[in-house]
Amino acid sequence: MVNRQLIDALVSAAERKWTGAVLARDKKTGLEASIHVYGGGVYSIELDDYQPGFVSRLIAAGHIDAARLASVRPSLDRDSADLMVGRIVVDCGWISVDRLAEYHREYLLAALGAVLKCRSLRVRESKNEITSRWCILPTRIEELVAETDIRRIQFDRASAALAGEGHAGSCVLRPMGSVAWVSNGSPELDAFMRATDGVRSVDEVAAMCGFTRAEAVFHASVLTTAGVVVLAAMPEPPKEARNLRVPEEFGNLTIRPGLPNVAAPQRLAPTPQPAEQAEVAPPRRRAPRRSGAWAETVPLVRPETPRRDLTTEVIARPAARSSEP
């Protein structure tokens, strides 16, 4: 089931070949999504309280190693590294524009699918807003909705294989025996395996590696099917307290999933506030945007939250095991 009000607004924008941002505000939480449209086609989405970890994503995919990270770190502002890194790695020749757009598209589909699931939205238009953050080529909304449907079916299958009827993002996985990691030519799968420690949940590993939940659940289901990891715990479904960890959580109030009474490393996430203290965020004031074909948007006004730093460490690859005689 998708929100018809939002679909109708985006279809109307497409028919008018309109340029701007369709703003969808969740009535329950006060969170807002800015869906950017150019000439009627959707090309970017920004969510309140969530910023994709693209530095971590590029590290997990093997495009940035420790040496490359050290070489570009002086060019990366701590607060805007995820916004800047895409252009830097393309300019350095470490990744193609098409590959970067694939990562942007995965994030866009995850975020758009989450917004479309919200039943109670206030939708309005903001004409002529543009952004250069996390962009794909402008795409008709009907095509994106069809992709989100396919993506949801694939996610449901992987989730059922991993957690049955449980909450896949809350699953905690434990490596089997002395197996430290597995390599099949997929850097992302290796990165997921190295971050799996029997304490972090699937969502926590996703946040650490810059994955969407769908990507993380797929990696987890592959590893469990291969017998490399096993399900260590299935906590209760997330409860109320604002802490967005993956783009699929827009419009929900969640706490950090994971093993109960086990403190995960502090750098993985800010400490969640108690459920009874969760409050609906007041409407935010939108700053005016600078114009221009490649202008950066003015940063959105966000609630004061502890800084989440997932971008300055490369997950260490374990020492190679000696080959069997």
* Average pLDDT of span 58-80: 88
d(CA 221, CA 162): 5
Quickly state the pLDDT bin for 320 (edges 50, 70, 90): low
The pTM (predicted TM-score) of the whole model is 0.75
* Average pLDDT of span 225-244: 73
* CA neighbor of 197 nearest in space, from 174, 179, 213: 174
* Secondary-structure breakdown of the chain: helix, strand, coil percentages, each rounded to the nearest 5: 40, 10, 50
Which are the contacts of 206, defined by CB distance < 8 A and separation ≥ 6? 169, 212, 213, 215, 216, 245, 246
Quickly state the pLDDT bin for 1 (edges 50, 70, 90): confident
Q: What angle do CA 29, 32, 38 make, to 5 degrees?
A: 160
Quickly state the pLDDT bin for 300 (edges 50, 70, 90): very low
Which are the contacts of 85, defined by CB distance < 8 A and separation ≥ 6? 54, 55, 58, 64, 72, 76
Q: Is 26 helix (H, G, I), strand (E, B) or coil?
A: strand
Quickly state the pLDDT bin for 321 (edges 50, 70, 90): low
Structure tokens at 85: 């890194």
* Average pLDDT of span 166-186: 76
Answer whether 182's CB lies under 8 Å from 223's CB: yes
Please give the pLDDT value at position 165.
84
178 vs 101, which has greater pLDDT? 101
Q: Residue 232: what residue type?
A: A
d(CA 46, CA 107): 10
Q: Among all chains, which residue has been given the structure tokens 């809350």?
A: 170
Please give the pLDDT value at position 227.
86
pLDDT averaged over every residue in the chain:
78
Quickly state the pLDDT bin for 240 (edges 50, 70, 90): low
**286-298 pLDDT per residue, tens:** 443 333 333 333 3
Of the listed ranges 41-50, 87-96, 285-294, the one predicted with least confidence: 285-294
Q: Residue 112: what residue type?
A: L
Please give the pLDDT value at position 310.
39
DSSP string, 214-265: HHHHHHHHHHHHTTSEEEEE-PPPP-SS----SGGGTT---PPPSSTT-PPP
Name the β-bridge partners of 23.
34, 124
Phi-psi region of 85 (alpha: psi -120 to 50; beta: other; left: phi over 0): alpha
d(CA 289, CA 297): 6
Quickly state the pLDDT bin for 160 (edges 50, 70, 90): very high
CB neighbourhood size of 308 (10 A): 15
Please give the pLDDT value at position 273.
40
pLDDT surpasses 70 at 272 = no
- In the chain, % of residues over pLDDT 90: 48
